[in-house]
Amino acid sequence: MKNDNLEKVKVKLQQKFGKRFTTNKTILERHGKDEAYYPVAPPDGVVFPQSTNEVRDIVLTCSDYSIPIIPFGVGTSLEGGIGALKGGISIDFSEMKKILEINQLDMDCTVEAGITRKELGSQLKDTGLFFPVDPGADATIGGMAATSASGTNAVRYGTMRNNVMGLKVVMANGEIIKTGGRARKSSAGYDLTRIFVGSEGTLGIITEITLKLYGNPANISAAVCQFDNLEDSVNSVIESLLSGVPLARIELLDEVQMEACINYSKLNEFKPKPTLFFEFHGTENEISEQTKTIQEITREYGGSNFIWKNLPEERNRLWEARHNAYYAALALKPGCEAWSSDVCVPITSLSDCIIESKEKLKEMNLQAPLVGHVGDGNFHLLYLIEPGDQEQFKKAKSHNKWMVEKAIDLGGTCTGEHGIGYGKAEFLAKEVGSSIKLMKGIKHAFDPKGLLNPGKLFV
């Protein structure tokens, strides 16, 4: 019956969308694999809508025949979030890239789900405004909302949950709803926006997003500080945050990741040591005061003199290197496969979690560069694994399990920004306890047939 229903859905989508519906094998495989270390799980078809109404038509067609639906941005997720684990139809948002509205004086905008963060940034350049959330990948805004992404600016500007003001969502029954609005605060009823942000396409299909924007800083300065050991670098971060200085960015790269970035991005002025990248926003006087305080703290912990990157092209080169850390790490072991995992812990537990995770890597003879948005207690490991080496993969899986459980035991979370997907579904229940039943109840209420991105979040 399922195969019959699937064929009927394919015929209907082909009739309605023509060349914007495909079953090409290469395209299917592309839509069944993100950047995670998980097998390809291709959908049975891919459709490219151009409007919210077309998304509704796709959802209604699939719902009529009980065929799963998987939203797709650009495929940069890291926990298997786009895999079609039960087959179905992938909705690709690459033809929904419009900026629908920019309200310059109110500092907000509304965009379609398929626009990427770089495309949005480019179109905001002449407005004097910017959108601060910047995950390493050039992800779509819809995908960033679906995973509650964050990035290097989160320490000052927050994550997607803090910066999404409202949504347009197609529900599992085809109903189109709006959540939130353009007011900067509201105490009206349940906060549905926050329920959908981070839901990974399991509760509804996000098609439009209203975002907070910010005025461009009067001045920006970036600086790099290097340390002889990792523990001192992490402890200086904790002290810096306690100082009350409004840091715009504070990023940690361990000695392995730093060596990778030096080689990949030609950062030859640095050494392969534990390193902090800082960025400061404000007036000249504000930045002067901020940097004075932070330099005093880093020196107390044995940090080097700051290496300044004040010209725009210098700063861009530095942060481009940081955003390319994933690819730099891959270049350490040409031909390897990579598995990225992240955890987030209370700031005071950051040092213990990082140091013990590194020690465990050494014990298990694993290579995994470390990089962290340490200003909010979040760090990532990128396990580098030889293709087909199941023993290495088992060890990496064992280390990841240990690290995640350690983070949860410290009062943290199994994922700071990657999302659950199916890669971390086994840890969600441990983290949230009995409230997992409530989460499953919400899922059933929103999606009673279980058609929206099935197999994600819950084991």
Determine if residue 50 is left, alpha or beta; phi over 0 gives left, psi from -120 to 50 gives alpha, anything else beta.
alpha
Give the C-alpha separation, 161 to 376, whole Å.
14
Of the CATH numbers 3.40.50.2000, 3.30.70.2190, 3.10.180.10, 3.40.250.10, which one belongs to the domain with range 219-326?
A: 3.30.70.2190
The pLDDT of 28-46, averaged and rounded, is: 93
In the chain, % of residues over pLDDT 90? 95
Distances in Å between the Cα of 110 and the Cα atoms of 131, 151, 175, 182 are 12, 21, 20, 9
Whether domain 99-215 has CATH 3.30.465.10: yes
37 pLDDT tier (thresholds 50, 70, 90):
confident
| Second-level CATH architecture of 2-94 | 2-Layer Sandwich (3.30)
Q: What is the pLDDT of residues 122-150, one digit of tens each?
A: 999 999 999 999 998 899 999 999 999 99
Domain with CATH 3.30.70.2190 in the chain: 219-326
Residue 94 DSSP class: T
State if pTM tops 0.85. yes
Q: Looking at the DSSP assignment, which residues form a beta bridge with residue 382? A: 340
User: Would you place residue 16 in the very low, low, confident or very high pLDDT band (cuts 50, 70, 90)?
Assistant: very high
Specify the domain boundaries for CATH 3.30.43.10 within the chain.
2-94
pLDDT at 459: 79
Instruction: Pinpoint the residues of the chain covered by CATH 3.30.70.2740.
Output: 334-418
Domain 334-418, classified CATH 3.90.1300.10, yes or no: no
* Residues 410-441 pLDDT 10s: 999 999 999 999 999 999 999 999 999 999 99
Q: What stretch(es) of the chain map to CATH 3.30.465.10?
A: 99-215
| Distances, alpha carbon 141 to alpha carbons 135, 149, 292, 299, in Å | 11, 9, 36, 39
Determine the average pLDDT of the residues in 100-114. 98
Question: What pLDDT score does 444 carry?
Answer: 98
How far, in Å, CA of 57 to CA of 320, rounded? 40
Q: pLDDT confidence of 1, banded at 50, 70, 90?
A: low
Beta strand extents in 149-296 (DSSP E only): 164-170, 176-180, 205-212, 214-215, 219-226, 249-253, 275-282
d(CA 43, CA 70): 8
Q: What pLDDT score was predicted for residue 38?
A: 84
Phi, psi for 103 (deg, rounded to 5): -105, 95
The DSSP 8-state label assigned to residue 268 in this structure reads T
Q: Are strands 129-130 and 214-215 parallel, antiparallel or unpaired?
A: antiparallel
pLDDT of residue 136: 80
